[in-house]
Amino acid sequence: MVFNTGAALLDAIVLAVVSMEPEGTYGYKITQEVRQVIELSESTLYPVLRRLQKDECLEVYDMEFAGRNRRYYKITERGQAQLSLYKEEWKRYSAKISGMFEGGIR
């Protein structure tokens, strides 16, 4: 993708991906889901996950998988509220950009 992805958009995408799994999901799976819409490395993802956890938008827990602990991320109520705000803002923003590309805004 030729467009830069800012921190807020990346937060919104990660929250959207995590919100799809009611019991939470783990980092590698989040990376794979996000990569379906934007290019993202794991080294970019983990600081985003830590920031969202610090902002109380995600909670973290560990669960054993194949003899190892796997860290899971689950969206919180605060995270759901933030995701709702991001979705509303995205609707307005993308409508304006689409309008401009289609020649409707002057």
Q: Which residues, 6+ apart, have CB-to-CB distance to 1 below 8 Å?
A: 38, 39
Cα gap 65→62, rounded to integer Å: 9
The pTM for the full model equals: 0.88
pLDDT band at 1 (very low <50, low <70, confident <90, very high): low
The CATH number of the domain covering residues in 7-98 = 1.10.10.10
Residue 36 in tokens:
């379906």
- Which of 29, 70, 73 has the alpha carbon at shortest distance from 50? 73
How high is the pLDDT of residue 5?
Answer: 75
Residue 87 pLDDT greater than 60, yes or no = yes
Sheet of 25-26: strands edge to edge? Answer: 25-26, 68-75, 58-65
Per-residue pLDDT reduced to its tens digit, 24-79: 999 999 999 999 988 888 888 999 999 999 999 999 999 988 889 999 999 999 99
How high is the pLDDT of residue 24?
Answer: 94
